[in-house]
């Protein structure tokens, strides 16, 4: 399948305070972020012309930057407005938004306190992260070969580019073996998340989900927890051992890209695409489109 390269497209990208032609939004090869991962980003979705939970995402971008030791040169309100302008300039009605902030090329070396902080926002039309057919059956996941790091070894509460290196490695291996994704354990051996999405399980009518104490507490994750509680579904946030997967009935992933995606298989464990999963898929879809929840 031919994929249009991301550096050669029509449209506009917001870069450091102004909209520039897409192909002109470039950085130098000696940019600090490229060499030392001094970069944070967000992933957002546009539904019917509106960016879902926009301010929450912009605020998390600001906080991620602080966790990496730098301040954004724009306020949360300014980033919100720039995001709307970028979506409008590219005529995005349903799509994806990628804000990103990074240290520039003014200094090269581990220390780069004087490097300029750059901010860019790009947006494009993007369909479902997983194919509708795969979601209908339930995604097939393998166990990832890498584990999420301990919070005293990396800024795990940030959405930092460097934290995704092991996610890329794990997802590449999963896809090479015919799986849609991989489930990662944390540094202690507890269930953590997939490579780019949080994970939930269903047992006896209740939701069980890992405590996000060493990985990102997703905005979609929190939305789904609120939706479940509004339905009277008990939500239990706790440490989950891999052996417990055998006793769970349903499983699904949540994330800006994944939205709510049922899982049918993780290694030797099987799950049904059951009523609670389907209900939360529908509730999330209605919420993102500004519709009232079904009775």
Active site residues: 159
Locus of tokens 């995001």: 83
- C-alpha closest to that of 172 among 203, 197, 205, 195: 195
Q: Angle CA(231)–CA(233)–CA(236) in degrees, nearest 5?
A: 145
Give the phi and the psi of residue 282 in degrees, each rounded to 5.
Answer: -65, -45
Task: Give yes or no for a contact between 261 and 129, defined as CB atoms under 8 angstroms apart.
Answer: yes
Find the helix packing angle between 219-230 and 54-67, rounded to 10°: 130
- Could you give the CA distance from residue 277 to residue 139 in angstroms, rounded to a whole number? 13
Beta bridge partners of 237: 209
Checking 174-177 for CB contacts under 8 A at 24+ apart, the result is: 174/141, 174/142, 174/144, 177/142
**What is d(CA 283, CA 289) in angstroms, rounded to the nearest whole number?**
10
SS3 content of the chain, % helix, strand, coil (to 5): 30, 30, 40
Please give the DSSP secondary-structure letter assigned to residue 294.
Answer: P
User: What is residue 90's DSSP assignment?
Assistant: T
């Amino acid at each position: 399948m031919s994929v249009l390269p991301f550096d050669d497209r029509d449209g506009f990208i917001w870069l450091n305070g102004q909209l520039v032609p897409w192909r002109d939004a470039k950085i130098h090869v000696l940019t600090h972020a490229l060499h030392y991962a001094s970069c944070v980003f967000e992933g957002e979705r546009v539904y019917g012309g509106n960016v879902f939970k926009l301010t929450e995402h912009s605020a998390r971008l600001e906080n991620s930057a602080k966790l990496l030791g730098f301040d954004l040169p724009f306020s949360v309100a300014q980033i919100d407005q720039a995001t709307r302008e970028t979506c409008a300039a590219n005529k995005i009605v349903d799509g994806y938004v990628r804000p990103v902030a990074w240290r520039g090329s003014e200094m090269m070396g581990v220390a780069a306190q004087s490097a300029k902080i750059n901010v860019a926002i790009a947006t494009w039309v993007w369909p479902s992260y997983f194919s509708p057919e795969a979601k209908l059956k339930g995604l097939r996941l393998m166990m990832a070969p890498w584990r999420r790091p301990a919070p005293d070894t990396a800024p795990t509460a940030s959405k930092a580019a460097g934290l995704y290196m092991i996610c890329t490695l794990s997802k590449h291996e999963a896809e090479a073996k015919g799986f849609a994704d991989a489930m990662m354990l944390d540094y202690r051996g507890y269930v953590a998340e997939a490579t780019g999405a949080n994970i939930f399980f269903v047992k006896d009518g209740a939701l069980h989900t890992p405590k996000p104490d060493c990985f990102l507490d997703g905005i979609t994750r929190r939305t789904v927890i609120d939706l479940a509680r509004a339905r009277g579904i008990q939500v239990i946030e706790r440490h989950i051992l891999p052996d417990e997967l055998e006793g769970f009935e349903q499983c699904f992933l949540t994330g800006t890209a994944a939205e709510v995606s049922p899982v049918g298989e993780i290694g030797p464990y099987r799950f049904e695409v059951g009523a609670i999963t389907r209900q939360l898929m529908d509730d999330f879809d209605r919420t993102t489109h500004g519709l009232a929840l079904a009775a």
